[in-house]
Amino acid sequence: MSLSVIINADDLGLNPVVNNAIDEALAKGVITSSTILANSKYLNDVKDIIRKNPAASYGIHLDLTEGSSFTNNPLFITRGIIDDNGCFIHGNSKRCSNADEELKEAIRLEWNAQIEHLLHEGFDLSHVDGHHHCHTWYGLQDVLVGLMAKYNLTKARNCYRYPIVDATHKLICLFSCFLVNSGIFKESAICANNQYFSHISGACRNYQHFMLYNNALESFNIGTTDYFGAYEDFYKLIRRGFKPNGNYAIELMCHPGLPAYKEEVMMVLQDAIGVKQSDNFQLISYKEL
């Protein structure tokens, strides 16, 4: 029995501070993977980071929430997806989720341009995830898997596979799903009041959304980890006594260089070496998944 751990740094290319922090973590061997923003102004710096750290895996961080749009589709302006300067407007997930066919096509063209740009720049993409998890937004699963099939991208982050470690936890998950899907509580209220759902990948996510995304990945044989969580969730698992009953892989997400995640990054820098040397866990990248 073993647990393989991928530690993925999001937002590579966001700014020089983030780039330097990810470079440091890669050099110390405490992260194994990172995902690149195609609309970055610092792709030459990203190339240098990858050249220095070739053992890690590097994917694309699909974007609909920050930075410049590649396509500047007029529909994005009329729907409030980008501003007059062609920059994505943060917090537009409600406008993109459950999109009609016209908007889905605009998003497909945008993501296609982002993938094309990184491939044209010579990046070898190991997997796909999304800035603020936009690749999982409701109704966009067909857009995602269609583009992955087009470019032979075979692995993706699945943030709907949150580990359930005991019977109590499982009951809370099921009850939370019932409360949300019945309309009694909003997801945000559950997450705010339950330690197990302090981030977006909690089990109180809409069950239909969960099934649509997972079925789409499975139908295209897209590889994913068995579990997903933010880095601090690793410690919750350990404290809850999580022991894999078999061979499993988990992705732990982190955000080096971002001030809001300072404590999380300190955990990674201080403790991931212990994971690396542990008999119970092994660090891998998306290359080995």
What is the reported pTM?
0.86
Which tens digit of pLDDT belongs to each residue from 64-89?
999 999 999 999 999 999 999 999 99
- Count CB-CB contacts under 10 A for residue 243: 11
Which tens digit of pLDDT belongs to each residue from 110-119?
999 999 999 9
Q: What is the DSSP letter of 196?
A: G
Q: Is 139 exposed, middle or buried (0-12, 13-18, 19+ CB in 10 A)?
A: middle
Identify the residue with better confidence: 271 or 49.
49
Can you tell me the mean pLDDT for 226-249? 74
Q: Give residue 269's pLDDT band: very low, low, confident or very high (50, 70, 90).
A: confident
Return the biggest CA–CA distance within the chain: 54
- Phi, psi angle pair for 179, to nearest 5°: -65, -40
Domains and CATH numbers, the chain: 2-156+223-283 (3.20.20.370)
Which tens digit of pLDDT belongs to each residue from 32-58?
999 999 999 999 999 999 999 999 999
Identify the residue with better confidence: 145 or 163.
145
Q: Which of 209, 192, 198 is nearest to 231 (CA)?
A: 198
Q: Is 232 exposed, middle or buried (0-12, 13-18, 19+ CB in 10 A)?
A: middle
For the cut 50, the answer to whether the pLDDT of residue 192 exceeds it is no
